[in-house]
Structure 1
């Protein structure tokens, strides 16, 4: 299994300077996932405008204002998770597969085109306002790619359960972000 980045672009216009974004964000996803010990899963990235992210912020957070990035984790934080495997019309968990293997029973086949019938885990969705990203790049005096990378890694860490509600949480999360960005060559 592997990590996959899926794209949704809700914007009407795309600039020529964005051609390198897919490879940049795939590299950042790989770096951030490696740092978090995540070997597989799917992250969906939506690029939108200020009004699009404002609507999401209003709907899901009750805040009627534009923001730069939103994250919608699909994992339940803190709960023990079992990988879901599908075999024909019923579901089994990894525990069932391990028990079957221990008893030399036949394990589900890979009819779905995935390893041993495994369905890849949806890690969550990240939504970035591209106009806000550009504004912040100018405000902070660095490249659009650096700001895009910062927002993407920030969003990914939220998918992994990190938050910045306290000073201690913020220091830990931002240190992880900066380490990933540095490994990708996106320093300030």
Structure 2
């Protein structure tokens, strides 16, 4: 697996531990889905303003969000190109406080959530939401990261 990181925000320090959490979360997600091919994904860390603009420009939703996924799912013989994950680091901090768990847990969960989106899962319909939430729980349990 290869992850290209792009830190496009300057309000919060992105530590080596944060990079490792994202890597482990993507790896666990792909493992849980039985993906055995080499995979490539890009992960960008942004602030609230940038993710709001991306959400507006690409989804037509003019508000800030916590994470966005831009799936590609291109299969090149020996490598699966999954797409882009964009994480709002300000929301990682605020949601961790709001939900009463660690920033590590929030960053991991958002990464798992977004990776599942890259693999075609969604939560628009209630039945799809149940399936996606069950996969998220399974992966977070595999990682040993709990609320």
Q: How high is the TM-score relative to the length of structure 1?
A: 0.73
- Which secondary structure does the structure 2 equivalent of 1:74 belong to? strand
Q: Which residue of 2 aligns with 1:58?
A: 56
Q: 2:4 aligned with 1:6, yes or no?
A: yes
State the 1:13 CA deviation: 3.7
CA gap of 1:15–1:83, structure 2 versus 1, over 3 A, is: closer
Larger Rg: 1
* Cα distance in 1 between the residues matched to 2:33 and 2:129: 17
Which has a greater percent of strand?
Answer: 2
SS at match of 1:161: coil
The answer to whether the aligner puts 1:19 opposite 2:16 as a matched pair is: yes
| TM-fit CA distance, 1:33 | 0.5
Is 1:139 the counterpart of 2:98 in the alignment? yes
Q: What runs of 5+ residues in structure 1 fail to find an aligned partner?
A: 77-81, 85-117
Q: Can you list the C-alpha shifts for 1:63-120, whole angstroms capped at 9, x where unaligned? A: 11000010000027xxxxx635xxxxxxxxxxxxxxxxxxxxxxxxxxxxxxxxx5x3
Q: Distance in 2 between matches of 1:7 and 1:83?
A: 21
The two structures, once aligned, show a CA RMSD in angstroms of: 1.5
Residue 33 (structure 2) pairs with residue 36 (structure 1): yes
Residues paired across the two proteins, number: 146
Which protein is richer in helix relative to its size?
2
Q: Which ranges of structure 2 fall in alignment gaps of 5 or more residues?
A: none
TM-score scaled by length of structure 2: 0.93
Partner SS, residue 20 of structure 1? helix
